[in-house]
Copies of this chain bind each other. A is one copy, B any other.
């Protein structure tokens, strides 16, 4: 399903506002990365101007800077062991709230945040809802050393795709690694198994699969509605 970009912006704003309304005083909040997360940050800045007291950490410098510019105090991720609430988008989410993330290239840091959070609210428009994960592709972060050997192993196991590029150069994550975007298989019938197999390959840091992370999902629809879906 396609939604025109103006409408999509409205949906993202509504999602961001709704998610920001769930943040409470004194929380350490994890900020995701991407255009939907940005709308959340903007709404959060508004709430902080009205008196909300929180501190934030983030999976990207971009989101952190945005928050800081808006006057939200930053916490030091080096000393944080638990985050109260993380709000982030997703590239695909299935009926079991299993997700694929990593389109923005920050999957490892996003997973560190999500897995350290007491609550994770995922905000997506309805185009991200899928019955089976895979159409988006699966981003996999790999160590740059020996990347050809690592990709060779992925392909031997049936996972084909390509190294992500940016401006004709290999894309490097904030952790200094590469992203291999798996394009085949087109759909993952047993994503937990695929995750296990892929992560066992030496040189693989992590995959874009997120399981058992979302505690609730806010879905924005083309008709303007925002609905809450609880994790099963």
Which residues of A approach B to under 8 Å, CB–CB? Answer: 77-83, 108-109, 111-116, 143-150, 152-153, 174-177, 199-203, 205-206
Contact = CB atoms under 8 A, between A and B. Distances in A.
B112 A143 contact: yes
A143 B80 CA distance: 14
Contacts of A149: 77, 80-83, 112, 115-116
Contact of A145 (B114, B175, B199, B202): B175
Contact of A148 (B80, B111, B203): B80
Nearest to A146: B112
23 contacts: A77-B145, A77-B146, A77-B149, A78-B147, A78-B148, A80-B146, A80-B149, A81-B152, A82-B149, A108-B202, A109-B145, A111-B202, A111-B203, A112-B145, A112-B146, A115-B201, A115-B202, A116-B146, A116-B149, A116-B152, A143-B175, A175-B176, A202-B206
Nearest to A106: B145
A82 B152 contact: yes
